[in-house]
């Protein structure tokens, strides 16, 4: 890999000969780095999706709470025929209680997802810098190229 990047072909007894860098070398470098960048972008998209999935949980809790209240009112009006509605009421009430217990853990997961997404963004930035640096080296501009930072 170093020989490829430096454009050097080893000779006999430690000799090195410079060889011209072909377009194929540049293509191999770009394809390899491009694959990493693609996987990293996919990981970032998954992190963002997971982060936004947590946003719907408070609405779900509110919806279940309203369902529980409404089901309780309906079961009271239905008298003996409201037994099945009371089962729904109990289920909705238990679900709300469980979701309320889990919300702190969910917020912690959301924070961790946000931090992971930030790390992925930094990796994408680093991959871009590596790609640009490798391209400059393969073109023979390694020592004279402007800074990439």
Going residue by residue through the chain (149 aa), what tens digit of pLDDT does each one get? 333 334 433 334 444 444 555 556 556 656 666 777 777 778 888 878 877 887 888 888 888 888 888 888 888 888 888 888 888 888 888 988 898 888 888 888 888 888 888 888 888 888 888 888 877 887 776 555 555 55
Q: Residue 26: its pLDDT value, please?
A: 57
0.85 exceeded by the pTM?
A: no
Q: What phi and psi, each to the nearest 5 degrees, are found at residue 145?
A: -75, 150
Residues in the chain: 149
Q: Where are the domains of the chain?
A: 2-138
| Distance, C-alpha 3 to centroid of its chain | 34
């Amino acid at each position: 890999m170093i020989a490829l990047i430096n454009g050097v072909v080893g000779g006999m007894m430690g000799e090195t000969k410079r060889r011209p860098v072909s377009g194929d070398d540049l293509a191999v470098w770009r394809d390899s780095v491009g694959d990493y960048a693609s996987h990293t972008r996919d990981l970032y998209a998954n992190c963002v999706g997971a982060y936004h999935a947590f946003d719907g949980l408070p609405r779900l809790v509110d919806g279940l709470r309203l369902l529980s209240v409404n089901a309780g009112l309906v079961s009271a009006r239905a008298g003996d025929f409201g037994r099945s509605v009371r089962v729904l009421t109990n289920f909705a009430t238990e679900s709300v209680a469980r979701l309320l217990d889990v919300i702190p853990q969910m917020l912690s997961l959301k924070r961790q997802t946000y931090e992971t997404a930030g790390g992925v963004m930094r990796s994408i930035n680093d991959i871009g810098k590596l790609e640009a640096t490798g391209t400059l080296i393969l073109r023979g501009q390694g020592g004279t190229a402007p800074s990439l930072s």
